[in-house]
Structure 1
Amino acid sequence: MIWLIVAAHVFVVVGFTTRILLRDDLSPPARLAWFVVLNLLPYLGSAVYFLFGEIDIGHRADKRHKAVFDGLKARAQGFMGTPDAADTLIGEVYRPAFHYAASINGFHPVSDNCAELLADEAETTARLVEDIDAATERVSVLYYIWLTDATGTAIADALIRAAERGVVCRAMADGLGSRGLVRSELWQRMEEAGVRCAVALPLKNPVRTVLTSRLDLRNHRKITVIDGTITYCGSQNAADPEFRIKAKYAPWVDVMLRLKGPVVAQNEILFLSDWLQATGEQFETLPLRAESVAGGFPAQVMGDGPTERRGATPQLFSGLFASAQEELILSTPYFVPDATVLEALCAAAYRGVAVSLIFPKRNDSWVVAAASRSYYRKLLSSGCRIHEFRDGLLHAKTLTIDGQVSVVGSSNLDQRSFDLNYENNMLLQDAAITCDLRARQQSYIARSDPVRHAEVLTWPRHERIWHNVIATIGPVL
């Protein structure tokens, strides 16, 4: 019996260790993190690796996603932009980043767009409901978190009204983040009213999902498209700022853009890629249009996820950081960067760029909070400025560069957004909207506490050890 136990132990540890060594897609820090876990907790570590160790949505799902998206792109070439667009539309120093974004899933910059930065969560909901109520053809919405609170119900009721007057309404919610909604009476009312409802990455058979994929591969996107002429992009889910499922961290502070122009079609293509994969619906002709706004700015969509190439998001952000000449301001609620992103931020600060980073003071994830603070000393030593937002959970994901280039969307700077989640972002070059976003970022900074280098050096040793331990195993979390 003892020999059987020893043999089983060796088989488990050696087997999973060999698998880790055979994987070319793992970074050295991630591989080392798994070695640490497997050696300290061999059986638990092996179970965790089996459940969460590999980023695989499943062969059939991966193949279906690629077929759907490739088919969409082939039929929508006129809306994807052209490969040389960045060379004429984007400033020279920022072109490499826009070219890189285009390489991820084929969306190139398109000109003649306009955007409006919405004041707050209440205005976003009011304007969104107003636009749905004015829709005459179609409405498409996708949320990671859709609650049955006042905001979630207001959006659902607007869709119901639109469907009842003949508007084609498509509503999609993530199977985990919106699990309460898809089992609710509100979801049923939407379906009964004629709203076409779908669940992204459903959890109908969790055991099968565990055996063939991962439970934590999620659709984290927030997309709204109305009549093919208006789109919303940013960090806000269909939920109240009070966010009752995690009320002690409230309010959630988000940022949203309302956009018009040809970039709307790109966001709709991204939505349709998820919709077609989930439903199998087919279109004889794609319901797309590209209405230009005279004198508008260039913009492009970037979508990432576990079916795209690994490392795309951190490489994109690193390219954007490298393009900064004078100033870089970033806000994100979840900051667990890989080496690519961390070094790019430090390099920007070392070469004289004014780098400002805004994080929540109280994070709803203690793991992320600890891992984030493990990087403070290095960032502050390089000259980055860190601000911790104290008035709720700053959920806004924003980047402004030199008062010219902006990025808003759903991506955080953590391993989940880098590897596990389907995300959507908007890249644009425009001084006016970037000025508005920068002013919003400055309002966040005004409501934040600065973190000083001298203060970090005085943190107790046990805190520093804890932060570094969590950061060490960060790639497996």
Structure 2
Amino acid sequence: MEFDLLHVGPLVALAHVLGVIAACHAILNTRTSQGAIAWAVSLVAMPYLTVVPYLFLGRSKFQGYADARRIENELLRTRAHPQIWDTQASSAGLPTKELGTRLVHSLTRLGGMPFLPGNSVRTLVNGAATFEAIFEAIEGARNYVIVQFFIVRDDALGELLKDALIAKAQQGVRVYFLYDSIGSFDLPHRYVAALRAAGVETHPFATNRRFVNRLQLNFRNHRKIVSVDGERAFVGGHNVGVEYLGSKPPLSPWRDTHIEVRGPAVASIQFVFTEDWHWATQQLPEFAMPAFQPADEGMHCLVVPSGPADKQETCSLFFVEAINAARERIWITTPYLIPDEAVFAALRLAVLRGVDVRILIPCRRDHRVVFAASKLYAYDSLRAGIRIFRYQPGFLHQKVVLIDSAAAAIGSANLDNRSFRLNFEIMVLTVDRGFARDVEAMLLKDFAESLEIDRTEYRNASALRRVLMHVARLFSPIL
């Protein structure tokens, strides 16, 4: 026993010393006070469980990257932004009528892009409709194809995408393929090599351009963008993997939503890709937008890119503004319900204004800690008068916001701190009552297949489960 203690004692002491050192590092370097507290408390109290995760999730040389990325983006937006921003940008008209002058002004300044009129947008419900439309668009490409995903898997769907891109490259079409280096960590080298050998310009996205830091899981590029010939663009929640087609029990059937955008707003979506591509390669992709006739009619769209290098916390503030704009209803669907204080306060105030506030979340989990924390936030939301629904058929992954009867936003951003501050995201806000009705009809079908929960979900949980929920919420700033 004495021999064991001689070995165990120093190890325990070393773990606590490392925990204190890491806690000091977290206090000095974590971007938010809530995140700093979450890391510091867990590192000091439970160093055996948290020191190693901190190396992956907390350790970062981010400031230099943020400065470099911010300067690069500012130069691109000044010198290389789409000409259509100057010729067709609209800050008046329909968006102002439906949302108000102040909101339009704040959102365009927040995202750094203008509202553009003359678009058409349609929803693509679930994976089959989404990838059928994407593959049909790629097959018809004449000049160029842009593809960017957070996760790309080497499975049946990934093979179909690879073959489609190779076929177009061999026809002389320029093909650009960007994938996140950590999100697609298990993408084999042979997959990338086959694309490059066929002439597809293929690059991973990483915060450090010189090498992929496998210890850095933060600051991921969570965007999903496909664009063809500047005429059609696709944005939403789907990645490339058979689970997005509903082929991964027990999460299947997978519920997700993409949109197809046609019109001038495609230029804004492509420019988001341009910024990411330029960071990864230090080159500008070669593509030109087709000529669009100036029009005040059609759908008005605002592309809102966000990321950890922004001057403002763009994603969080976008949700705050969207919620504050609601006068009748604000319906949100998200796989992860871990709002920050600003967003949660905006939701509570909306209830007090008499707004119909609904949040649709999954009933099945894909991350244990996140799901436990979400349960507690759901209980707090119920106490504030927010209606919470759990989608029953399968895992819910869509990211949709419906504002009154006039506007809807669809994209890649979740209602959690990772999307608010740690990931690169994209949302497309469409101001059009016809499109809002389509989104409403889609969500009403989802609500019909959901269970509205009440406070008994929390109260009926065992004491241990409730403790675990509260412990999980301590980590919410870093989830």
- Taking structure 1 as the reference length, what is the TM-score of the superposition? 0.88
| CA apart distance, 1:123 | 2.0
| CA apart distance, 1:141 | 0.6
Identify the match of residue 428 of structure 2 among 421, 426, 429: 426
Task: Summarize the alignment of residues 17-36 of structure 1 with structure 2, pairs less than 5 Å apart.
Answer: 17-22=23-28, 25-27=31-33, 29-36=34-41
| CA apart distance, 1:199 | 1.1
Alignment deviations for residues 310-366 of structure 1 (CA, whole Å, 9 cap, x no partner): 532112101110110011111011111111111211211122111111001001011
Identity of aligned residues (%): 29
Q: Which moved more, 1:39-48 or 1:147-156?
A: 39-48
Task: Summarize the alignment of residues 315-330 of structure 1 with structure 2, pairs less than 5 Å apart.
Answer: 315-330=317-332
Q: For the residues of structure 2 that align with 1:47 and 1:405, how far apart are their CA atoms?
A: 44
Question: Structure 2 vs 1, CA of residues 417 and 424 (structure 1 numbering), >3 Å: closer, same or farther?
Answer: same
| CA apart distance, 1:230 | 0.8
Question: Structure 2 vs 1, CA of residues 362 and 425 (structure 1 numbering), >3 Å: closer, same or farther?
Answer: same
Question: Structure 2 vs 1, CA of residues 464 and 208 (structure 1 numbering), >3 Å: closer, same or farther?
Answer: closer
Which residue number in structure 1 is paired with residue 128 of structure 2? 122
Which residue number in structure 2 is paired with residue 381 of structure 1? 383
Q: Does 1:65 align with 2:69?
A: yes
Provide structure 2 residue ranges, at least 5 long, that are not aligned to the other structure: 1-5
Question: Structure 2 vs 1, CA of residues 54 and 178 (structure 1 numbering), >3 Å: closer, same or farther?
Answer: closer
Question: Structure 2 vs 1, CA of residues 197 and 437 (structure 1 numbering), >3 Å: closer, same or farther?
Answer: same
Alignment deviations for residues 135-194 of structure 1 (CA, whole Å, 9 cap, x no partner): 111110101111233332222222122111111111111112223335234x33322221
Question: Structure 2 vs 1, CA of residues 98 and 413 (structure 1 numbering), >3 Å: closer, same or farther?
Answer: farther
Q: For the residues of structure 1 that align with 2:370 and 2:257, how far apart are their CA atoms?
A: 21
Equivalent pair of 1:332/1:395 in contact (CA under 8 Å): yes
Question: Structure 2 vs 1, CA of residues 118 and 215 (structure 1 numbering), >3 Å: closer, same or farther?
Answer: closer
Q: For the residues of structure 2 that align with 1:329 and 1:53, how far apart are their CA atoms?
A: 33
Letter in 2 for 1:112: G
Equivalent pair of 2:418/2:478 in contact (CA under 8 Å): no
Task: Summarize the alignment of residues 374-413 of structure 1 with structure 2, pairs less than 5 Å apart.
Answer: 374-413=376-415
Q: Does 1:170 align with 2:176?
A: yes
| CA apart distance, 1:43 | 6.3
Q: For the residues of structure 2 that align with 1:54 and 1:293, how far apart are their CA atoms?
A: 48
Equivalent pair of 1:405/1:429 in contact (CA under 8 Å): yes
Which residue number in structure 1 is paired with residue 3 of structure 2? none
Which residue number in structure 2 is paired with residue 440 of structure 1? 442
Question: Structure 2 vs 1, CA of residues 298 and 454 (structure 1 numbering), >3 Å: closer, same or farther?
Answer: same
Letter in 2 for 1:372: S
Identify the match of residue 191 of structure 1 among 189, 193, 196: 196
Q: For the residues of structure 2 that align with 1:369 and 1:11, how far apart are their CA atoms?
A: 31
| CA apart distance, 1:397 | 0.5
Alignment deviations for residues 349-397 of structure 1 (CA, whole Å, 9 cap, x no partner): 1221111110010010111110011112221122211110111111110
Equivalent pair of 1:81/1:108 in contact (CA under 8 Å): no
Q: For the residues of structure 1 that align with 2:177 and 2:42, how far apart are their CA atoms?
A: 40
Q: Which moved more, 1:344-353 or 1:135-144?
A: 344-353
Q: Does 1:39 align with 2:41?
A: no
| CA apart distance, 1:21 | 4.6
Which residue number in structure 2 is paired with residue 228 of structure 1? 230
| CA apart distance, 1:58 | 6.0
Task: Summarize the alignment of residues 355-366 of structure 1 with structure 2, pairs less than 5 Å apart.
Answer: 355-366=357-368
Equivalent pair of 2:303/2:426 in contact (CA under 8 Å): yes
Q: For the residues of structure 2 that align with 1:6 and 1:238, how far apart are their CA atoms?
A: 44
Question: Structure 2 vs 1, CA of residues 423 and 389 (structure 1 numbering), >3 Å: closer, same or farther?
Answer: same
Count residues in correspondence.
470
SS in 2 for 1:445: helix
SS in 2 for 1:348: helix
Question: Structure 2 vs 1, CA of residues 325 and 245 (structure 1 numbering), >3 Å: closer, same or farther?
Answer: same
Identify the match of residue 91 of structure 1 among 96, 100, 111: 96
Question: Structure 2 vs 1, CA of residues 412 and 354 (structure 1 numbering), >3 Å: closer, same or farther?
Answer: same
Which residue number in structure 2 is paired with residue 453 of structure 1? 455
Letter in 2 for 1:197: T
Which residue number in structure 1 is paired with residue 289 of structure 2? 288
Q: For the residues of structure 2 that align with 1:237 and 1:116, how far apart are their CA atoms?
A: 19
Identify the match of residue 106 of structure 2 among 100, 125, 129: 100
CA root-mean-square deviation: 3.1
Letter in 2 for 1:271: F
- Taking structure 2 as the reference length, what is the TM-score of the superposition? 0.88
Q: For the residues of structure 2 that align with 1:84 and 1:158, how far apart are their CA atoms?
A: 34
Q: For the residues of structure 2 that align with 1:385 and 1:256, how far apart are their CA atoms?
A: 24
Q: For the residues of structure 2 that align with 1:7 and 1:148, how far apart are their CA atoms?
A: 44
Question: Structure 2 vs 1, CA of residues 316 and 95 (structure 1 numbering), >3 Å: closer, same or farther?
Answer: farther
Alignment deviations for residues 397-428 of structure 1 (CA, whole Å, 9 cap, x no partner): 00101121111000101121112211111111
| CA apart distance, 1:473 | 2.2
Alignment deviations for residues 288-310 of structure 1 (CA, whole Å, 9 cap, x no partner): 34525852111111111222235
Equivalent pair of 1:176/1:203 in contact (CA under 8 Å): no
Provide structure 1 residue ranges, at least 5 long, that are not aligned to the other structure: none
Equivalent pair of 1:299/1:429 in contact (CA under 8 Å): yes
Equivalent pair of 2:231/2:266 in contact (CA under 8 Å): yes
Question: Structure 2 vs 1, CA of residues 83 and 118 (structure 1 numbering), >3 Å: closer, same or farther?
Answer: closer
Equivalent pair of 2:30/2:36 in contact (CA under 8 Å): no
Question: Structure 2 vs 1, CA of residues 449 and 164 (structure 1 numbering), >3 Å: closer, same or farther?
Answer: same
Which residue number in structure 2 is paired with residue 160 of structure 1? 166
Equivalent pair of 1:104/1:309 in contact (CA under 8 Å): no
Letter in 2 for 1:291: F
Equivalent pair of 1:138/1:168 in contact (CA under 8 Å): yes
SS in 2 for 1:118: strand
Q: For the residues of structure 2 that align with 1:322 and 1:137, how far apart are their CA atoms?
A: 42
| CA apart distance, 1:57 | 3.6
Equivalent pair of 2:181/2:212 in contact (CA under 8 Å): no
Which residue number in structure 2 is paired with residue 347 of structure 1? 349
Which residue number in structure 1 is paired with residue 148 of structure 2? 142
Q: For the residues of structure 2 that align with 1:236 and 1:381, how far apart are their CA atoms?
A: 32
Q: For the residues of structure 2 that align with 1:94 and 1:149, how far apart are their CA atoms?
A: 47
Question: Structure 2 vs 1, CA of residues 293 and 394 (structure 1 numbering), >3 Å: closer, same or farther?
Answer: farther
